[in-house]
């Protein structure tokens, strides 16, 4: 028919998202639960043991979704945020509105197989459950952006006030310099007048 053949998917994510309509986060989670080190970015083809493990993890996620739909499973509230330099290596961290959030999820974050890896580099990012379940994670994630916007607005206002204050200071300094110059001019004029009067007295005496 003259049409170029469609490019074959090169990764697990491309294959499953295209063939079954899974979302990338679901595919990535399934792949990592299956022990694929690169998650959804794992290159194809897979070995048969990898395929079997991936099918098993996809089945477990489908069961999880069914449990959520029936009310038998309550989604977790998990958030991931970028660590600050002072947080590296901390085990008891808890997120706040000040955190630089990267992701939120309804899935548990501590059920990966031993030796498995999460989507985020744990040296760079911290992940934790929050109170209130998934709704709590959702609220915290988006509230942080509101707080960041408010902080940005306050910083802009503070910067504008500082610039205005600096301008007033410069104007006042210029006025002081102008007054000092005027004072010196007046003193010089007074000195000249006094000198001239002395000369006049001398001529008339």
Higher pLDDT, 205 or 81: 81
Q: What pLDDT, on the 0 to 100 scale, is given for residue 87?
A: 52
Edge-to-edge strand list for the sheet holding 125-129: 100-105, 78-82, 125-129
Residue % of the chain over a pLDDT of 90: 27
Residue 169 has pLDDT above 90, yes or no: no
pLDDT in tens, 45-55: 999 999 999 99
Q: What is the mean pLDDT of the chain?
A: 83
Mean pLDDT of 122-150: 88
85-123 tens-digit pLDDT: 765 555 446 788 888 888 889 988 766 665 555 677 778
Residue 1 has a pLDDT of 47
pLDDT confidence tier of residue 155, bands split at 50, 70 and 90? confident
Q: Which is more confidently placed, 185 or 11?
A: 11
Three-class DSSP labels, the chain: CCCCCCCCCCEHHHHHHHHHCCCHHHHHHHHHHCCCCCHHHCECCCCHHHHHHHHHHHHHHHHHHHHHHHCCCCCCCEEEEECCHHHCCCCCCCCCCCCEEEEEECCCCCCCCCCCCCCCCCCCEEEEECCCHHHHHHHHHHHHHHHHHHHHHHHHHHHHHHHHHHHHHHHHHHHHHHHHHHHHHHHHHHHHHHHHHHHHHHHHC
Answering whether pTM is above 0.95, one says no
Higher pLDDT, 31 or 152: 31
């Amino acid at each position: 028919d003259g049409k170029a053949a469609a490019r074959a998917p090169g990764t697990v994510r491309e294959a499953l998202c295209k063939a079954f309509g899974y979302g990338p986060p679901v595919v990535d989670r399934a792949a990592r639960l299956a022990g694929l080190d690169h998650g959804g970015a794992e290159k194809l083809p897979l070995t048969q043991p990898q395929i079997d493990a991936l099918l098993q993890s996809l089945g477990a996620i489908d069961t999880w979704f069914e449990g959520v739909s029936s009310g038998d499973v309550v989604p977790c509230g998990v958030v991931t945020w970028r660590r600050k330099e002072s947080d590296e290596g901390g085990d008891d961290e808890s997120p706040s509105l000040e955190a630089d959030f990267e992701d939120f999820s309804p899935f548990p974050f501590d059920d990966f197989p031993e030796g498995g890896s999460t989507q985020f580099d744990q040296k760079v990012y911290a992940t934790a459950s929050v109170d209130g379940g998934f709704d709590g994670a959702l609220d915290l994630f988006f509230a942080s952006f509101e707080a960041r916007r408010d902080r940005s607005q306050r910083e802009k206002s503070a910067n504008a006030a500082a610039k205005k204050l600096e301008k007033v200071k410069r104007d006042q300094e210029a006025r002081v310099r102008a007054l000092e110059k005027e004072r010196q001019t007046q003193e010089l004029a007074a000195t000249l007048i006094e000198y001239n009067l002395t000369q006049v007295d001398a001529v008339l005496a």
